[in-house]
Structure formats: structure tokens, C-alpha cells
Structure 1
Amino acid sequence: MNKNNTLIFDDGYCFGMGGFETISVEKGTPLFLNWHLERLEKGLGILGISNENFKCQVNEAEIRRFLEENQMEHGVLKIMVSERNILFTKRENPYDETSFEKGFRLDVSRVIRNETSPFTYIKSFHHGDNLLEKRRCKKAGYDETLFLNSQKQITETSASNIFFVKEGRLFTPKISCGLLDGIMRRYILEHYEVEETELYLEDLQQYEEAFLTNSLMWTMPVVSIGELKFPSRTFANKIRENILNIK
């Protein structure tokens, strides 16, 4: 495998057969690193990419060496792996307290999330639907777009999982609906009582709070989905405070 040198054109960069992880880095520390590496290895296995050299070059020691050479206070480490390439990159984390205070406005995508595709369940280079829909909703004045599957069930947004709150109880779509099992989703399911269920747009009026999660934003209050508004952000605040204590 090639790492951080000349790019080799393989099935990853020609046909989307590669996996990646984006990891929040706070004051030089990568958050939930082991979970990210575990998910990346699993995704590469689904893509049929050998991990013979992967563990030698993508491990905690190599990552910490890269972060020592590329210091970040509030940043993002991205790891990209294909059959013949391993790339590490860094950038600033675009989410901050101002983003959180404002919250996100969502629209609903007309693109159907394919719950039968293995690509739906891993972080792969095969990411075109997400990028195109993200750009479209931004142009329309929204922050994110919500995908439904072929059964019109709520799945996820272009870059995050979604949770709903009713009478102090947490609800989130089942993985089988067609979504990536996010790192923050995993954290919440391990630390809070959450019902994984099938959710439909017509049912959302019964929920008083909605929020998004991913590794970079941690939690993000949803202000609205289309015309439907969500006034509360109690759980989004509580979970975010817990993550701040971890880091």
C-alpha cells in the first residue's frame, strides 16, 4: 500500500472501492479512535480490501505520530484507504458553538436511500448521493437533507444520524432502514436508553425534539424539518455536555 506519497489509481480512485473515516481531534487527541479504526477495518472487509498492510500503517501509533507532526486544536483527521493507497489529511473542524446555538434546518430529499445496498452501511468513496444532496439543500437555504428509504421510512441525513425525543424518551431509526451506524450514534446507544424503530414523516408531529449526530458536530439541534418545528433541545444539550467532558 502507498501512504501519503504519489496516488496510485486503483479500484478505489477509479470506481469508489475504498473506505474512509473522519475523526474529531481536540487539542491533539483523536476522539473515539478505536471505534473509528474498528469501523474502517469492517468496511474494508465488506469491500474485499485486504488488511495485510492496513494494520501496520493505520494504527494508533502511526496516527499519533501524524498528529504530533500536524498539531490541531479543534480539527479533523481524515483517513482514506483503498487497495493500494493509505492517505491521512487534516483540516479545521467546521462546527463550533455558534453552529450549535443556531441549529440545523432540514429538508427532505427526493433521492431514495437504498437499504439493500452494502454501500449504505459503510463509509466508502461511493459517496456521490450524499454530496450532491448536501449541495442542493444548501443552495435551497437548508443545512442538511433527510433521506427516506424505499418504504418511506426515515433513515439518516447526508452526513449524520438522527434522533427524536418524546416525553423524555429517545428514538432513532433502525440500522436495517438503511443508514450508517455512526460513532456518536453508538455512543448514545451505549449510554442512554434508546428505542430503535421505524419512523415516518407523518409521525413526527408527536416529537418535541430532534437532533443530529456525527463525529465532528457531536450533537446538533434540529430546528425544523420542512415546515415542522422542534422547540426543545434538552437532550442535544445534555449529550453535548457529556462529550465535552470526555475531551
Structure 2
Amino acid sequence: MSTAVIADDGFRYGLGAFETIGVENGRLALLDDHLARLSRAAAFLELPMDEAALRIEAGRQALAQGGARGRHALRLTLTARNTLFELRPNPYGLDELHRGLSCCIGRLRRNPHAPLTFHKTLCCGDSILEKRHARRQGFDEPLLLSTEGRLCEGAVTNVFLLTDDGLVTPSVKSGLLPGTMRAWVMRRTEVTEREVDPRELLQAREVLLTNALMGIAHVRALDGRALPCAGLAHALRDAYLREARG
């Protein structure tokens, strides 16, 4: 695996892919899901990928630099001429997730007609800038609409709504990146994928956010308006952590 960065189209034009994998006490969470999504992005971007070698190296990296204890994040970046790993502490505290997240409707709009929308590529600067803007305004995460005005996802999360008819999540065709934790929730419980009107956020019994590092958390407020918590996020997060930690 490369440790020195070689200039290529990944660094010139963002034509690279990455995964950020949760590490729980040295165990790589949802590794199969992450490698499958990375493989799809690599095929789309025409990048070479040796899945078996990546699996072995990811396991080694997860145990390096103190990763065998506590909660960490392992980033795997793939470009035409580079394979890079970075291990760092998980930025989400469990107490913070238990309290819930404060969200806003973001300024950024997702484009369901742009092919890179559906892959986890290095062209993600707009999401990071939008999240930083929301944080400066006192929010934890912005929720993003599509160019057609439908609810899509958060800047770095997927969204679920617990409604009177069950659990709902925006369809991929709305213009979102389907996450590994989104897939885990959809395997774990019955979920309806459909177009979601953003006004439904204020009518939901609970709004949940997911990503590979936070797991699952509920939204406690949207643009300053308190939202209810039915306890589903807590139950799913506990189930996920039990599974991830073995």
C-alpha cells in the first residue's frame, strides 16, 4: 500500500473514491458494505482496486496506533495511483448522540441528474463547506433538498422519518448517496423508500440520521423547533453497537 502520495487525476480533478469506516475496539464495522460501495465507485471512475488486499490492510490499520481500544474512524482513499489509510478518533461522542442533533434546512441542493451524486468520491467539498456553515450557525447538521425541492439527505448523513405508516427514507433517485448505515437499518427493519416532502419532517414521530461513524441519532430540533423522539434511534443505535463490538 502506498504511503507517499503520487499526483494523479484523483488529486487534480477529484476522480477518486473513499470510505470512512467505523472502528469499534479494533473491529471494522460494516466492512463488506464499505468495500462493496467502494468497488462500485472504483468501477464507475475506472480505478484499479484489489479488494482482498484492501481488506487485509484495513484490518491491520484498524489495530494500529491504539485503534484496538475505543471508537475510531478509518478512512480509505483510492485514486488511480494511490491507496491511502488514515486512522483517527471517532468525532461523535455517544453522549452527544443520545441527546440528539440540532439540524437546519441547508442552502445546498442535491442534483439527481449529476452522476457523481450517487458515488462517494473526492468531489465532496460542497458538503463539507455546507456542514461548516451550519456549525457556525449553531447547528450540528444541515438537511439538504434536491433541485426539485424533495428531501434528500444530510451533508454527511442519510435521513429516516418515523411516520404513522412506518419508517420512511428518501429514495436514492431523489439525489442522494446511499450510506452503509442506511443499508444496515434497511436490513434490520421494514423501511419504505419514496420521495419525501420536507414538510413531513415536522409531522414525523421521530427523525433519524445515520452514517458510518455516528451510527444512528435522532434529530431533537429543526431550525430551532423541537422535534419528538419516540426512542427508535436509541434502540437501533444500541443494537448496532452490540453487533459492531461483537
- Superposition TM-score tier, normalisation by shorter sequence: over 0.9
Aligned-residue offset at 1:4: 3.6
Aligned-partner SS, 1:101: helix
Could you say which residue in structure 1 is the equivalent of 2:219? 222
Could you say which residue in structure 2 is the equivalent of 1:106? 103
Q: Distance in 2 between matches of 1:62 and 1:227?
A: 44
**1:19 counterpart (17, 20, 33):** 17
Aligned-partner SS, 2:51: helix
Q: What do residues 138-196 of structure 1 show as CA deviations (whole Å, max 9, x unaligned)?
A: 01111111111111000001100011112371011001001111111101111111111
Q: What are the ranges of 5 or more consecutive residues in structure 2 without an aligned counterpart?
A: none
Q: More deviation in 107-116 or 211-220?
A: 107-116
Q: Distance in 2 between matches of 1:27 and 1:78?
A: 16
After TM superposition, the structure 1 = structure 2 runs for residues 199-238 of structure 1, keeping only pairs within 5 Å, are 199-238=196-235
User: 1:215 is matched by which residue type in structure 2?
Assistant: A
Q: Distance in 1 between matches of 2:96 and 2:201?
A: 24
Q: Distance in 2 between matches of 1:9 and 1:57?
A: 22
Could you say which residue in structure 1 is the equivalent of 2:116? 119
- Identity in percent: 32
- Report if aligned partners of 2:161, 2:206 keep a CA contact under 8 Å in 1: yes
- Report if aligned partners of 2:19, 2:34 keep a CA contact under 8 Å in 1: yes
Aligned-residue offset at 1:101: 2.5
Q: Distance in 1 between matches of 2:64 and 2:188?
A: 34
Could you say which residue in structure 2 is the equivalent of 1:80? 77
Aligned-partner SS, 1:94: coil
Aligned-partner SS, 2:91: coil
**2:51 counterpart (27, 50, 55):** 55
Q: Distance in 2 between matches of 1:214 and 1:110?
A: 21
Could you state the TM-score of these two structures normalised by the residue count of structure 1? 0.93
Could you say which residue in structure 1 is the equivalent of 2:35? 37
Aligned-residue offset at 1:233: 3.9
Alignment of 1:176 with 2:163, yes or no, is no
Q: What value does the CA root-mean-square deviation take over the aligned residues? A: 1.4
Aligned-partner SS, 1:69: coil
Aligned-residue offset at 1:205: 3.0
User: 1:62 is matched by which residue type in structure 2?
Assistant: E
Aligned-partner SS, 2:63: helix
Q: Distance in 2 between matches of 1:129 and 1:6?
A: 27
Q: More deviation in 125-134 or 203-212?
A: 203-212
Q: What are the ranges of 5 or more consecutive residues in structure 1 without an aligned counterpart?
A: none
